């Protein structure tokens, strides 16, 4: 499997390896020659006296085809199907859990892939079984700790053999952001809203039912002006005549949040918790500022087909 130009893929420790010396045959020969003499001597000496312990360290003689990763003209490793010029995919694992079948898809990226603003590897998939049954995916799971592997979720077809996996639509992120200030009465309390954030291009994030307490806050959001949803992240600032009294940010496991874009998610509820370092008196509040980062899903039809007959489903 070592047959790809990895220098064309992401920067790796291989890039930093020192250049090979053309003198290795001589060096290896020196070692072999010395080893032969020393070995013969030790054998002779061992007949004369004991004990003798050797420390001769030998290296494997080199071959004309050095081990490692040779270079060729292939853009991606074998088995990986290009999705874009810089990303290729290959299904590699599968596990059935209760009502779900999750197919693990490995990705490789070439140099130039931008993990921040680039492709979010998700989308719509179709799984075909050996019996001819066709199953459409219901979602995907991406883990930020292992971005080179994500799972596509299907309804569990039971004990069947897998035949073909097809990606029929890829989802690209369309990041937007917006901010809006609204006047409020002294808090804690509820702000009915809506507070409307302009995300550009006619898309708005309408925030309603904003409940603000001393330690936590809740709000309801809905996207308008778009047929596709996505990922919505909101922070809330409580102010008194422009001075911050409290900052509320999303609760939960921020660092290891695991999710994939969901084009059907156009409304929801978000819980926020207050930053303990900013504990102003909410009774003096005059305004709130809602800030949002929204990633909309842009769907693009694709047709990638993978043979998955060799993948064993862990049950």
Partner 1 sequence: MSTGARVVVGIGAGVVLAGLGLLLGRSSAESAVPSATDATLSASTTMVAEPQWAAADGVRFLSTIVVPVEFGVGDGVATLEYELTSLGSPDGIIPPVVPESWRLTTVTGRSMEATTDPPRLPTTFGDDTVRPVTDSVIFDEVGDVTMSGVESLAVTGWRIATPVEVEVEMSSTIGSTLRLFDGVTIELATIIEQPSGSILDFDVTAVADPWHSGERSPFGRSSIFEGAGPGWASAASTFGGTGLSGGVTGFQLRRTGQEVPETISIRYTRIAWLPVPGETVVPTGGPDG
Q: Which of 7, 43, 62, 85 binds partner 1 (CB under 8 A)?
A: 62
Q: Which residues contact 87 (CB under 8 A, 6 or more apart)?
A: 107, 108, 109, 110, 113, 119, 121
Task: Please give the residues from 4 up to 23 whose contact with partner 1 meets the rule CB under 8 A.
Answer: 4, 6, 9-14, 17-18, 20-21, 23
92 or 135: whose CB is closer to partner 1? 92
DSSP structure class, residue 255: T
Q: Which of 7, 37, 225, 305 binds partner 1 (CB under 8 A)?
A: 37
Q: Which of 7, 43, 61, 161 binds partner 1 (CB under 8 A)?
A: 61
Rule CB under 8 A: say whether 143 interacts with partner 1: yes
Q: Which of 72, 192, 242, 256 binds partner 1 (CB under 8 A)?
A: 256
Q: Which of 255, 276, 277, 303 binds partner 1 (CB under 8 A)?
A: 255
Residues forming beta bridges with residue 283, ordered by sequence position: none
Is the link from the previous residue into 188 a cis peptide, with omega within 30 of 0? yes
Q: Which of 72, 192, 242, 269 binds partner 1 (CB under 8 A)?
A: 269
Rule CB under 8 A: say whether 130 interacts with partner 1: no
Residues in the chain: 315
x/- mask, partner 1, residues 283-312, rule CB under 8 A, reads: -----------------------------x
3-state SS string for 171-214: EEEEEEEEEEEEECCCCCEEECCCEEEEEECCEEEEEEEEEECC
Task: Please give the residues from 151 up to 170 whose contact with partner 1 meets the rule CB under 8 A.
Answer: 151, 153
156 or 240: whose CB is closer to partner 1? 156
Q: How far apart are CA 88 and CA 80, in angstroms?
A: 5
Rule CB under 8 A: say whether 257 interacts with partner 1: yes
Q: How far apart are CA 269 and CA 252, in angstroms?
A: 14
- Measured CA distances, 218 to 14, 40, 84, 249 (Å): 49, 82, 40, 10
Tell how strand 313-314 and strand 87-97 pair up: parallel
Rule CB under 8 A: say whether 252 interacts with partner 1: yes
Q: Which residues contact 287 (CB under 8 A, 6 or more apart)?
A: 181, 182, 183, 184, 238, 239, 240, 241, 242
Helix (H, G, I), strand (E, B) or coil at 9: strand
Q: How far apart are CA 55 and CA 34, in angstroms?
A: 13
Shortest reach from residue 181's CB to partner 1, in Å: 24
* Nearest-10 Cα torsion for 78, 309, 313, 140: 60
Q: Which of 82, 157, 250, 299 binds partner 1 (CB under 8 A)?
A: 250
Stretch that binds partner 1, among 92-100, 229-237, 281-289, 299-307 (CB under 8 A): 92-100
x/- mask, partner 1, residues 196-235, rule CB under 8 A, reads: ---------------x-x--x-x-----------------
Stretch that binds partner 1, among 98-106, 123-131, 157-165, 301-309 (CB under 8 A): 98-106
Q: Which of 100, 128, 198, 265 binds partner 1 (CB under 8 A)?
A: 100
Rule CB under 8 A: say whether 251 interacts with partner 1: yes
Rule CB under 8 A: say whether 186 interacts with partner 1: no
142 or 196: whose CB is closer to partner 1? 142
Stretch that binds partner 1, among 101-109, 171-179, 281-289, 297-305 (CB under 8 A): 101-109
CA-based nearest residue to 307, from 165, 175, 191: 165
Rule CB under 8 A: say whether 56 interacts with partner 1: yes
């Amino acid at each position: 499997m070592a047959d790809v130009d990895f220098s064309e893929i992401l920067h790796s420790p291989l890039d930093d390896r020192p250049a090979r010396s053309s003198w290795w045959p001589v060096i290896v020969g020196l070692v072999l020659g010395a080893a032969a003499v020393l070995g013969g001597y030790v054998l002779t000496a061992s007949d004369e006296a004991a004990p003798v312990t050797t420390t001769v360290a030998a290296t494997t003689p080199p071959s004309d085809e050095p081990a490692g990763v040779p270079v060729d003209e292939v853009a991606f490793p074998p088995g990986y199907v290009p999705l874009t010029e810089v990303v290729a995919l290959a299904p590699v694992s599968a596990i059935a859990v209760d009502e779900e079948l999750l197919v693990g898809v490995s990705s490789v990226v070439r140099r130039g892939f931008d993990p921040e603003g680039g492709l979010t590897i998700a989308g719509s998939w179709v799984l075909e079984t050996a019996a001819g049954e066709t199953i459409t995916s219901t979602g995907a799971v991406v883990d930020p700790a292992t971005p080179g592997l994500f799972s596509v979720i299907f309804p569990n077809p039971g004990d069947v053999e897998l035949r073909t996996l097809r990606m029929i639509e890829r989802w690209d992120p369309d990041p937007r952001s917006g901010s809006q200030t609204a006047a409020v009465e002294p808090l804690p309390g509820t702000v009915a809203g809506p507070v409307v954030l302009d995300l550009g291009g006619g898309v708005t994030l309408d925030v309603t039912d904003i409940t603000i307490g001393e330690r936590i806050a809740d709000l309801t959001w809905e996207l308008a002006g778009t047929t596709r949803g996505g990922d919505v992240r909101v922070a809330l600032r409580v102010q008194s005549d422009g001075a911050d009294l409290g900052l509320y940010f999303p609760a939960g496991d921020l660092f290891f949040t695991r999710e994939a874009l969901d084009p059907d998610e156009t409304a929801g509820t978000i819980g926020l918790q207050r930053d303990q370092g900013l504990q102003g008196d909410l009774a003096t509040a005059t305004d709130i500022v809602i800030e949002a980062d929204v990633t909309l899903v842009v769907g693009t039809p694709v047709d990638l087909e993978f043979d998955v007959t060799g993948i064993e489903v862990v049950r």
